Amino acid sequence: MQVKKRLRINSIVSLITVLIIILVLSLTLHRINQANNTAKVAGDIVLNSFEKVTLRNDYLRNNNERAKIQWFAAYEKISGILKTASENFHTAEDKKTIDVLLENNESIRKIFTAIVENREKTKSNPEAAVISQEVEDRLLSQWNRKVYDEALYGRELLASSGKERASIIWQAGVGIACLFLVLLGAVIVHSWTMGRIITDRIFRLRDGVSVIGGGALDYRIDIKGDDEFAELSDAFNEMAVKLRGSDNYLRNEIAERKQTEEEVKKLARHLQLSLDVSNMGWWHYDPITRISSWDDGYKKIFGVAGHTRPNDEILTHIIHPEDLPGLWSKVEASLDPVAPRPFAAEYRINRPDGAMRWIEAHGIASFAGEGDKRTATSLVGTVQDITERKHADEALRKAHDELEIRVQQRTKELRELNETLEQRVAERTAELQAANTMLLDSRRAALNMMEDALVARRRAEEVGEELALANRELDAFSYAVSNDLRAPLRTIEGFTTAIIEDFAVSLDQTAKDYFNRVVSASRRMSQLIDAMLSMARLTRGELMERAVNLSDLAEVAAYELGKKYPERLVESVIAKGIKVRGDIDMLRVVMENLMDNAWKFTGGHEQARIEFGMTKEEISHIGLIGPIYFVRDDGAGFDMDYADKLFEPFKRLHSEAEFPGIGIGLATVYKIISKHGGKIWAESVPEKGASFYFTLK
């Protein structure tokens, strides 16, 4: 039976009991009202008795006719009351008293009437006054006894009505107390039974959620029935099944992505090897941002330092002034969206070491959009040093010129030495043809190598596009998985919150605490899902290198933490002007996580000190020489025996109660530093703080 139905039955039983109590109270009030009516009747009888005595005395002493009339009116009034009094009194004794009062009242009327008649006779016959006075005295004596009896009977009725009212109130109190005790017993028994059922199921739910939350995704919570706990159990089991499927899928995707990355790296190495063998360099030009990028072969050919960043100013100084206008016109022609031409040019450069070299360049432009919106997005190509070939061509031209001169000089001699000259010319011609053949073969080989390099480059671009498509599909899958995983979590949290809000009165504090733990576990699992997806998206993105001021990022992180925890006394010591090259968004995540980590683990100290800086000292056991960047604190620290677990996802060296968290921050930092070609490690002594060191390529 569902908890809601049990609680509804409990409410219905309570409502019925309350209705019965109300009914009992209504009946009691009705009976009390009747008892009050009887008491009023009894009181009227007593008061009427005294009123008749007063009116009689007034009549006898003053011969007041008005008093006589009022006396008869009082008689009629009490007669009416006595005739209807039997409706208010229910006991046989009370009814008998009413009958006696009726007879007594009639007797009193007759006596008073006799007194009145006797007085009337006295008025008409004064001689009989003495006899009339004796008669009147006897009648008054009888009348007094009757009136006294009437008053006594009235008091008896008044006392009887008071007892009846007290009896009614006592009976009603006992009945209500009994009903309340029955209701209290039923509620206690029902609540105890429900408490046992709910507590047992909550324990089983808690244990199951703890097992699943610990990573045992194949575990299933076994709660049978048709109540809300069975629904929660089914929801947790369904969530575990989806988590298992998602985990397997993500593992396969990561393995496939690593394999694809290895293939791309292999193709890149082959391409670079081909370029090195052919003494060629690779370049890329972005017409939108006007930013160029070169490989090491390009820099070697142009004689620039390896750390030099490509830009138009460097090219303008290196390219021969006479060749520069024609070169740029060919670049613009190759970027024409309407009728693009393949980029091909030969030009001279003046290297920084003073040498003049001939360069042959080829390139292909890429476009995006259609029609009027078609625009060039990139220009990619190769360069080759053809100085030696140019020298060979120049030598060949000079040789050809010298040959012409010698032919002219020897024309005369040819006439004389025709046969000898023809033989020598033939020999020289054969040598010249052989040289031309060798030169043509060399140029064909170079062109073939350039074509191979371009094919390899296109293949690398295709692989890159396939990798980008796979990343987009993985993003779409991550979004779908995120929604599918959050749906059962929202169901769990919604049902649990509804139970806490709707049945708060029926649940004891222990049950509420267990339900709150279920809600907390659901929210923590949602945070874990968000953290996993965030880490996957962050480490999958491409590096956008630029100049980054780590000192500024550290100061911003410290300022935000100070606003978030204004009660903390933390001294932030941040070295100024520490600049690196890297992706600013990723490095911001690194500094925020390291600074937040330091703030969190110094939370147990009243005063704390957090330092960010750089050192160029050699770290002996790492084998690195600066620059090495660090974030240092004087907080809780950790045991170095477990340092290898610091950067693993969801691995924590402290309990949730000591320092809250989900164990994803340092894992994210590790992946970002690795993506930048750097290293990260930590050194610590328990309760003496920790130092996190990292390098960047």
Distance CA 502, CA 511 (A): 13
**Residue 43 carries which side chain, given as an amino acid letter?**
G
pLDDT higher at 612 or 521: 612
Give the mean pLDDT of 252-262.
81
- pLDDT tens readout for residues 636-657: 888 887 777 788 776 666 656 5
Quick check: 629 pLDDT over 50?
yes
Which pLDDT does position 369 carry in this prediction?
Answer: 81
Instruction: Give the DSSP per-residue string, 153-207.
Output: HHHHHHHHHHHHHHHHHHHHHHHHHHHHHHHHHHHHHHHHHHHHHHHHHHHHHHH
223 Cβ neighbours under 8 A, 6+ residues apart: 201, 204, 205, 229, 230, 232, 233
Total count of residues recorded for the chain: 697
- pLDDT tens readout for residues 136-147: 778 778 777 877
- Taking a C-beta distance cutoff of 8 angstroms, is the pair 230, 1 a contact? no
Quick check: 202 pLDDT over 50?
yes
Give the mean pLDDT of 688-695.
92
Distance CA 308, CA 228 (A): 68
Q: How confident is the model at residue 218 (pLDDT cuts 50, 70, 90)?
A: confident
Q: Model's pTM, two decimal places?
A: 0.33
| Alpha-carbon distances of 583 from 310, 542, 545, 554, 680, rounded to whole Å | 18, 9, 5, 15, 17
Give the mean pLDDT of 55-79.
80
Which pLDDT does position 77 carry in this prediction?
Answer: 81
Which pLDDT does position 620 carry in this prediction?
Answer: 45
Quick check: 87 pLDDT over 80?
no
Which pLDDT does position 658 carry in this prediction?
Answer: 64
Give the mean pLDDT of 435-440.
65
Q: How confident is the model at residue 633 (pLDDT cuts 50, 70, 90)?
A: very high
pLDDT higher at 92 or 448: 92
| Alpha-carbon distances of 363 from 99, 283, 335, 378, 534, rounded to whole Å | 134, 9, 10, 10, 38
Side-chain half-sphere exposure of 537, counting CA atoms within 13 A: 16
- Range from 312-316, 392-396, 492-496, 579-583 that averages highest in pLDDT: 579-583
Give the mean pLDDT of 166-172.
77
Q: Residue 76 is inside which H or E element, if any?
A: helix 65-85
Which pLDDT does position 560 carry in this prediction?
Answer: 92
Q: How confident is the model at residue 630 (pLDDT cuts 50, 70, 90)?
A: very high
Which pLDDT does position 482 carry in this prediction?
Answer: 53
Give the mean pLDDT of 494-522.
76
Q: How confident is the model at residue 680 (pLDDT cuts 50, 70, 90)?
A: very high
